[in-house]
A and B are shown apart, each in its own frame.
Chain A
């Protein structure tokens, strides 16, 4: 897990951004790209940099599904919730993966090794049904192959 960024590092990282210029999302993206998530401290620093309140910045962070307030797991599985995937068994795949990983959507294992998310269709519907494993499409799944994938990710205990 990456170390919690220091105030100084964060200030330097967002120094280029200005108030009233549409810089809230770019600043938050930059923080998340650098550290993998947006910490409480980062929210405060971005707010100060953009001359606004932490409440408004947190409001933005919590509104968008891409922003995380905790570090990501080593292996992130995004489950495609889209229609093509759904029509080809996607929801049963979700049930089976949640059961196997013992996680709800949006959950992460206690040891931060793996997490499961709801993802949106990116138009690779020819590969439906699918999940993205750390951003890479794993498509044409069956429920059985999804269970095997989840078991592999989970590993022996």
Chain B
């Protein structure tokens, strides 16, 4: 091992070990975007002031997330002897005083908030964290440090196997590193699954200089936040992965392209990069090894197609982030037309442990085709919106029940979106599909970057399709008429159907759009119609209902429904009238009615007066009546 690296690691380990036997309790608050949204800043501040008021001598720090995003702020408490750590959930600022009183002053577990024992002995009230249903079946590899280390402290990383993989790679030649990566079979984690080792090999064999590495941290798929969890929880892991790729491919400059919607990631990655520079892990002649590697954190500015690799490259170059046709691939002509390798955050994050423990160890967790683990986030109509890391292979049903806590209110799962707005929708009848790449590919879908969205029967298929197509239209770079005009056309047709103007020819209209959009330049346009195409297959009866019967079974589509007052005399009606943003609810001598022309179908009135107000079909009954009359 490189002597300078070894001595850095040794020093970090000593400090880490000493901190664990400091004789003081250690309290760590998860500080990431989700926990801050749920009050983690306030919790941290309250812990500090309460500890002072109670005269407690404790250490207070921060970590990334354990993945229980729906129960943040989460907090760990490690005993003064350093032998037992308990993870707690929902530790909001108002509970902090009681929390410290119980866990520190009285030295008891606060069982009602405890999720489990991270290390040490469990009790009947507080079982092991590994026995928590959410943790069962998870194998945390890229997430191994998250929750345990301070993401803003490089020494924490160094003390927990950090940079050991890079240390090994320093002793290997580029070919051997590539071979180890190829042996691992690590596939791109953005969803394509293309072997990372092969991409690195392309770059290694490119002739032009300099060579660039790009870490794609644009994570534009709404509902996906796995890259965010990594960057906010263990940023050095990504830097180490890129350093290994730099050795393998003789790259000298790297960019981490982070979407602007992730300010905390940008801040933490920048701090991590600065610390790595300070330690000689980045820059000229890294640790005296002869490797030169500059790493730049690049802030995006709000564009989905900048996640597409050629769009990203155009964006760093400085202009509109418009994807272009491939080939040439980035390995031939990328940043400033020089050879460039683009990988996802999670792809790079796997490299350090592959180097450290070897490809053979790494592939011990695998399906026949997909090697290693994958991170996923779950959202939508589920009970638990969290983040996990698992081996590929379980069924979607299992994932839904085990790690997403099942559907809310026990409603049926109508379907799910496997990975972003280009990935399509799958019917709830197909929950036995496994979380592997092929079953989706075979059906013209994708398992994408890890964000899976489940929906129940309160969702209208057409409305969902309109949202995803409007997203694609909004985010189209407008280079291709097929993409920009096609998505716009699709949205227009859905809108017309939602207003009650559906025509039988509309199904053909959609099919024509499906055929047309495949002629677009990049995947964005080529796959923009996937949602509609797959939704037409999975939910055809619902389309026919909207188009022919003019009925929206979910009670969503504006023109097909109507809000009406069902029962007068409900005491909640005045509140409903007061909340109505359009003044559509009128009262005349104690009788309430809704002016349909003014009503925007926002549903606020029904929230406040659920028994008095109902949603009715607006046209469907008339059509039915008309049909009956006509048929007679």
- Chain B hits for A63, CB < 8 A: 303, 319-322, 477
Which stretch in A2-10, A87-95, A108-116 binds the other chain? Answer: A87-95
Task: State whether A87 touches B381 (Cβ < 8 A).
Answer: yes
Task: State whether B467 touches A83 (Cβ < 8 A).
Answer: yes
- Chain A hits for B601, CB < 8 A: 92, 95
Task: State whether A64 touches B301 (Cβ < 8 A).
Answer: yes
Interface residues of A in 36-58 (CB under 8 A from B): 50, 52, 56
Task: State whether B223 touches A84 (Cβ < 8 A).
Answer: yes
A91 and B558 CA atoms in complex are apart in Å by: 11
A83 and B36 CA atoms in complex are apart in Å by: 21
Q: Given A63-B320, A64-B321, are A26 and B602 neighbors across the interface (CB < 8 Å)? A: no
A119 and B459 CA atoms in complex are apart in Å by: 21
Contact partner of B315 (CB less than 8 A), chosen from A20, A25, A84, is: A25
Task: State whether B579 touches A147 (Cβ < 8 A).
Answer: yes
CB nearest neighbor in B for A132: B37
The distance from the CB of A54 to the nearest CB of chain B, in whole angstroms, is: 13
Question: Which of A84, A88, A128 has the largest count of B CB atoms less than 10 A from its CB?
Answer: A84
A150 and B235 CA atoms in complex are apart in Å by: 38
In the complex, whether B197 has a CB less than 8 A from a CB of chain A is no
Task: State whether A124 touches B302 (Cβ < 8 A).
Answer: no
Contact partner of A66 (CB less than 8 A), chosen from B37, B69, B260, B316, is: B260
Contact partner of B603 (CB less than 8 A), chosen from A99, A122, A128, A143, is: A143
In the complex, whether B318 has a CB less than 8 A from a CB of chain A is yes
Q: Given A50-B318, A87-B380, A144-B579, are A126 and B453 neighbors across the interface (CB < 8 Å)? A: no
Interface residues of B in 561-605 (CB under 8 A from A): 579, 581-582, 600-604
Task: State whether A26 touches B299 (Cβ < 8 A).
Answer: yes
- Chain A hits for B322, CB < 8 A: 63
Contact partner of B453 (CB less than 8 A), chosen from A20, A22, A87, A142, is: A87
Task: State whether A125 touches B318 (Cβ < 8 A).
Answer: no
Q: Given A65-B303, A126-B70, A143-B604, are A83 and B318 neighbors across the interface (CB < 8 Å)? A: no
Task: State whether B453 touches A25 (Cβ < 8 A).
Answer: no
Q: Chain A: how many interface residues by the 8 Å CB criterion?
A: 52
- Chain B hits for A66, CB < 8 A: 260, 300-302
The distance from the CB of B373 to the nearest CB of chain A, in whole angstroms, is: 19
Task: State whether B602 touches A83 (Cβ < 8 A).
Answer: no
Task: State whether B316 touches A22 (Cβ < 8 A).
Answer: yes
In the complex, whether B332 has a CB less than 8 A from a CB of chain A is no
- Chain B hits for A99, CB < 8 A: 581-582, 600, 602
A60 and B471 CA atoms in complex are apart in Å by: 20
Type the 1/0 row for A5-45, where 1 means its CB is closer than 8 Å to any CB of B: 00000000000000010111110110000000000000000
In the complex, whether B461 has a CB less than 8 A from a CB of chain A is no
- Chain A hits for B34, CB < 8 A: 123-124, 126-127
- Chain A hits for B260, CB < 8 A: 29, 66
CB nearest neighbor in B for A139: B37
Task: State whether A83 touches B222 (Cβ < 8 A).
Answer: yes
A59 and B477 CA atoms in complex are apart in Å by: 12
In the complex, whether B386 has a CB less than 8 A from a CB of chain A is yes
Task: State whether B604 touches A96 (Cβ < 8 A).
Answer: yes
- Chain A hits for B464, CB < 8 A: 83, 86
In the complex, whether A120 has a CB less than 8 A from a CB of chain B is yes
CB nearest neighbor in A for B453: A83
Type the 1/0 row for B386-400, where 1 means its CB is closer than 8 Å to any CB of A: 100000000000000
Q: Given A25-B301, A82-B222, A143-B607, are A127 and B38 neighbors across the interface (CB < 8 Å)? A: yes
CB nearest neighbor in B for A146: B604
A100 and B222 CA atoms in complex are apart in Å by: 27
- Chain A hits for B456, CB < 8 A: 87
A55 and B19 CA atoms in complex are apart in Å by: 57
In the complex, whether B262 has a CB less than 8 A from a CB of chain A is yes
CB nearest neighbor in A for B299: A29
- Report 5 cross-chain contacts, Cβ distance below 8 Å, ordered by A residue: A63-B303, A120-B220, A123-B69, A125-B69, A143-B603
A-B contact sample (10 more), CB < 8 A, given A24-B319, A87-B459, A126-B37 = A23-B318, A24-B318, A25-B300, A64-B321, A120-B302, A121-B222, A124-B69, A125-B225, A126-B379, A126-B386
Q: Which 10 A-B pairs have the closest CB atoms?
A: A123-B225, A24-B318, A64-B301, A65-B302, A125-B379, A121-B222, A137-B37, A126-B385, A82-B222, A126-B70
